[in-house]
Protein backbone atom coordinates (compact mmCIF):
# COMPACT_ATOMS: atom_id res chain seq x y z
CA UNK A 1 0.00 0.00 0.00
CA UNK A 2 1.10 3.55 -0.54
CA UNK A 3 1.52 5.82 2.42
CA UNK A 4 -1.71 7.61 1.61
CA UNK A 5 -3.63 4.36 1.35
CA UNK A 6 -2.24 3.19 4.65
CA UNK A 7 -3.02 6.47 6.37
CA UNK A 8 -6.53 6.48 4.96
CA UNK A 9 -7.06 2.98 6.30
CA UNK A 10 -5.58 3.90 9.66
CA UNK A 11 -7.77 6.99 9.87
CA UNK A 12 -10.80 4.93 9.06
CA UNK A 13 -10.06 2.34 11.73
CA UNK A 14 -9.02 4.79 14.42
CA UNK A 15 -12.14 6.79 13.66
CA UNK A 16 -14.04 3.91 15.19
CA UNK A 17 -11.72 3.52 18.16
CA UNK A 18 -10.89 7.11 19.07
CA UNK A 19 -13.68 9.04 17.37
CA UNK A 20 -12.70 12.42 18.73
CA UNK A 21 -9.09 12.08 17.58
CA UNK A 22 -7.92 14.19 14.65
CA UNK A 23 -5.24 12.17 12.94
CA UNK A 24 -4.16 15.09 10.79
CA UNK A 25 -2.71 16.77 13.86
CA UNK A 26 -0.64 13.75 14.87
CA UNK A 27 3.01 13.98 13.82
CA UNK A 28 4.24 11.01 11.81
CA UNK A 29 6.66 9.91 14.51
CA UNK A 30 4.37 10.36 17.50
CA UNK A 31 3.40 7.34 19.56
CA UNK A 32 -0.26 6.85 18.76
CA UNK A 33 -0.91 5.49 22.24
CA UNK A 34 0.21 8.78 23.71
CA UNK A 35 -1.21 11.00 20.99
CA UNK A 36 -4.65 9.41 20.94
CA UNK A 37 -4.76 7.97 24.46
CA UNK A 38 -5.05 4.38 23.32
CA UNK A 39 -4.89 1.54 25.81
CA UNK A 40 -3.92 -2.05 25.17
CA UNK A 41 -7.51 -2.99 24.32
CA UNK A 42 -7.61 -0.18 21.75
CA UNK A 43 -4.35 -1.40 20.25
CA UNK A 44 -5.70 -4.93 20.11
CA UNK A 45 -8.81 -3.74 18.29
CA UNK A 46 -6.70 -1.58 16.01
CA UNK A 47 -4.41 -4.46 15.04
CA UNK A 48 -7.38 -6.80 14.64
CA UNK A 49 -9.01 -4.33 12.23
CA UNK A 50 -5.75 -3.86 10.32
CA UNK A 51 -5.53 -7.61 10.03
CA UNK A 52 -9.09 -7.93 8.82
CA UNK A 53 -8.78 -5.12 6.30
CA UNK A 54 -5.37 -6.00 4.88
CA UNK A 55 -5.12 -9.72 5.40
CA UNK A 56 -1.66 -9.34 6.89
CA UNK A 57 -0.99 -11.75 9.79
CA UNK A 58 0.69 -9.02 11.93
CA UNK A 59 2.50 -11.12 14.53
CA UNK A 60 2.62 -9.70 18.03
CA UNK A 61 6.33 -9.07 17.70
CA UNK A 62 5.53 -6.48 15.04
CA UNK A 63 3.27 -4.38 17.28
CA UNK A 64 6.04 -1.91 18.16
CA UNK A 65 6.36 -1.09 14.45
CA UNK A 66 2.70 -0.12 14.28
CA UNK A 67 2.65 2.53 16.96
CA UNK A 68 3.41 5.56 14.78
CA UNK A 69 1.92 6.75 11.50
CA UNK A 70 5.37 6.62 9.89
CA UNK A 71 5.87 3.12 11.22
CA UNK A 72 2.53 1.99 9.85
CA UNK A 73 3.22 3.48 6.43
CA UNK A 74 6.61 1.76 6.28
CA UNK A 75 5.24 -1.51 7.59
CA UNK A 76 2.52 -1.87 5.01
CA UNK A 77 4.75 -0.60 2.24
CA UNK A 78 7.35 -3.23 3.12
CA UNK A 79 4.74 -5.94 3.59
CA UNK A 80 3.02 -5.23 0.28
CA UNK A 81 2.87 -8.08 -2.13
Partner 1 sequence: MSTAPARITYREACREAIRAAILADPRVFLMGEDVGRYGGCYAVTKGLLEELGEARIRDTPLSESAFVGAGIGAAIAGLRPIVEVMTCNFSLLALDQILNNAATIPHMSGGQFAVPLVIRMATGAGRQLAAQHSHSLEGWFAHIPGLRILAPATIEDARHMLAAALADPNPVLIFEHIMLYNMEGELDPAVQGVDIASARIRRPGHDVTLVTYGGSLFKTLDAAEALAREGIESEVIDLRVLRPLDTATIMQSVARTRRVVIVDEGWRSGSLSAEVAMRIMEEAFFELDAPIRRVCSREVPIPYAAHLEQAALPQPGSIAEAARGLARPAP
Partner 2 sequence: MPSLGADMEAGTLVEWKVAPGERVHRGDIVAVVETQKGAIEIEIFEDGVLRDLVVAPGSRVPVGALLARLDVAAGGPPPALSAAAPAAPPRAAAPAPVPPPPPPIAMPPASRHRVTPAARRRAAALGLPLEGLRGTGVEGAICLADLPQAPPRRSSGFDPVGMRKAIAAAMGRSKREIPHYYLSQTVDLTPGLERLARLNAGRAPPERLLPAAMMLHAAARAVAETPELNGFWENDAFRAAEGVHVGWAVALRGGGLVAPAIRDADRLSLDALMVAMRDLVARARGGGLRGSELTDATITVTSLGDRGAESVLPIIHPPQVTILGFGRIVERPWVVAGAVVPRRVATLTLAGDHRASDGHRGGLLLARIEALLQKPEEP
Residues that bind partner 2 (CB under 8 A): 8, 11-12, 15-16, 18-24, 33-34, 37, 39-41, 44-45, 47-48, 50-52, 57-60
Exposed, middle or buried by CB within 10 Å (0-12, 13-18, 19+), for 29? exposed
Beta carbon of residue 4, minimum distance to partner 1 (angstroms, whole number): 6
Stretch of 7-15, 43-51, 60-68, 72-80 lying at the interface with partner 1 (CB under 8 A):
7-15
Contact between 8 and partner 1 (CB under 8 A)?
A: yes
CB 11 within 8 A of CB 1: no
Other beta carbons less than 10 A from residue 10's beta carbon:
22
Nearest to 72 by CA among 37, 32, 44: 32
With respect to partner 1, which residue has the nearer C-beta, 51 or 77? 77
Query: Which residues are near partner 1 by CB under 8 A?
Result: 4, 7-8, 11, 23-24
Amino acid sequence: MTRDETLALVADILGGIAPEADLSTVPGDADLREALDLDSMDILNFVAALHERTGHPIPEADYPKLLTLDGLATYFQAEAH
